[in-house]
Amino acid sequence: MNKQEMSAEILAAKKRSGASWAALAEAVGAHEVWVASCCYGENSMPEPYASKLCTALKLTSEVKDALVEYPVKGQSLGQLVPTDPLVYRFYEILQVYGLTLKDVIQEKFGDGIMSAIDFTMDVQKQEDPKGDRVVVTMSGKFLPYKKW
């Protein structure tokens, strides 16, 4: 079973069960953003977590085996420029603010990058009378470029 087939089975089981990412994350014992990224095939899931997820969603050992396998990153969307409006907005944010973020980060930290490996992300809902707000917090270790 490849990652795309795995993801399709997991998402179908999630839909059938009515479980939220938060509920699945609680069952697995991990963060909802990380669990979802594993289910979309963008991260691998260690066996104990994969077993808990498959038990919670009544999935086969083939799905568990695919969850545990190391992924090829960036394959879940299938195209360079995303067409889903919500995902596209993140792409658009980076198009508009990417160089700004790079400049501000490097001004504060020096020449380097923010890790997407030593990384966490959280999504919260902030109620607002003018319309609820989406709060996305990303935290990545700063990795300075090596000088030699």
The verdict on whether 115 is a catalytic residue reads: yes
Cα(116)–Cα(18) distance, integer angstroms: 30
95 vs 77, more confident:
95
Q: What is the pLDDT of residues 80-134, one digit of tens each?
A: 888 889 889 998 888 888 878 898 899 899 999 999 999 999 999 999 999 999 9
Annotated catalytic residue within 47, 62, 92, 139 = 92
Cα(50)–Cα(145) distance, integer angstroms: 35
Domains of the chain: residue spans and CATH: 3-68 (1.10.260.40), 85-144 (3.30.1160.10)
Annotated catalytic residue within 115, 127, 133, 139 = 115
Query: Model-level pTM greater than 0.75?
Result: yes
The verdict on whether 20 is a catalytic residue reads: no
Q: What is the pLDDT of residues 14-69, one digit of tens each?
A: 999 999 999 999 999 999 989 999 999 989 999 999 999 999 999 999 999 999 99
The verdict on whether 17 is a catalytic residue reads: no
Residue 84 has a CB neighbour count (10 Å cut-off) of 10
pLDDT in the model for residue 60: 98
Cα(50)–Cα(81) distance, integer angstroms: 30
